[in-house]
Amino acid sequence: MTPIFRFEGIYTPVVTPYHEDGSVNWDAQAEVIEYLVENGVHGLISGGSTGENYAQTVEERLELAKFTHQQLKGRLPLVVGTGAMLTGDSIALAAGAREIGAESILLASPPYSVPTDRENALNALAIDKAADLPVMLYNYPHRTGTMMGEEFLDRVGRSRNFCGIKESSGDINRVHLLARDYPHIQLGCGMDDQALEFFAWGAPFWVCGGSNFLPAEHVALYNACVVEGNYTKGRRIMSAMMPLMHVLEQGGKFIQTIKHGVTLNGIAAGAMRAPLKGLNKDDKRALEQVVRVLKQKIAGIQAEG
């Protein structure tokens, strides 16, 4: 079955810059979007957890999605996150995504309720019906408490709109399962420290928060593995990126780290909304050192041709 939409390349779940009073810094939001477009990412995601969707109202999330769509002016595809605890909120976000002209929606399991595969699939199909857009599923059981199992995948697969999955379980056996048994649902990397393995198993896209501040380096890994098929080069780039992956995936301060990375590029990413707090001085210094070395190493690899 040919997907109705092809997710290809680096998809950045965009951060939300805030002023100190917690309001959105729209000028900085525009700067982030422009920076990502100029540095070669292939698509943007508005309203993901990296954008702090859990600390925003449905109205705020739709306002951010509309702003992002208008700022993009069709230069890149926009995926709108619909993840929410209430099905009604997800449906409102899905309908809003269609109304603003987004190309796709990101659809996660509702957190905390722990639905069965059947219940989760029926929930997903209701959200799909509201949007009637290509769907990128988001499987992140460590956050939602629910695995998108085989019964779920079989049920949602009856709609052609379900054409991609951001797999963030961390279980490499899931990569094997999806690549082998569900080839009609495009496999996407959602676990940064496994990006090389995902690409080796044919994943055509990577949703990576770190591309908010290191887009060219993330694109370099994608190009080496997917475009060039050069896994020797890809392993070298991935090796250079592993210290960053450790900071992002193991440090417990994912959003704080990404926002500080954006700030290092001269864009005022601002504070986080409660309950999160910013990095301390030691964390900032550690990230700055990791970024400095990473950039030097990958630039050297790229310069070799």
207 is in an annotated binding site: yes
Q: Which amino acid is at 120?
A: N
Token output for 23: 């309001």
Catalytically annotated residue among 166, 233, 253, 259: 166
What is the maximum alpha-carbon separation in the chain? Answer: 53
What are the residues whose beta carbons fall under 8 Å from the beta carbon of 226, sequence distance 6 or more? 8, 9, 199, 203, 204
Out of 11, 18, 35, 138, the active site residue is: 138
Structure tokens at 45: 């995601």
Radius of gyration of the chain (CA): 18
Report d(CA 261, CA 209) in Å as an integer: 10
Q: How far apart are CA 287 and CA 181, in angstroms?
A: 39
Both tokens of 234, joined, read 């890809």
Are the beta carbons of 215 and 40 closer than 8 angstroms?
yes
Element (H, E) at 205: strand 205-207
Residue 268 burial class via C-beta count within 10 angstroms: exposed 0-12, middle 13-18, buried 19 and up: middle
138 is catalytic: yes
Q: Is 18 labeled as catalytic in the residue annotation?
A: no
Name the one residue in this structure whose structure tokens are 């899905």: 94
Find out whether 290 is annotated in a ligand binding site: no
Range list of β-strands (E), 111-185: 135-139, 162-167
| Residue 144 CA, distance from chain mean position | 16
In whole angstroms, give the CA distance from residue 237 to residue 61. Answer: 35
CB of 123 closer than 8 Å to CB of 89: no
Per the CB < 8 A criterion, the answer to whether 184 and 204 are in contact is no
Burial (CB count <10 Å: 0-12, 13-18, 19+), residue 172:
middle
Residues identified as active-site: 138, 166
Binding-site residue ranges: 50, 207
Binding residues for pyruvate, by number, are 50, 207
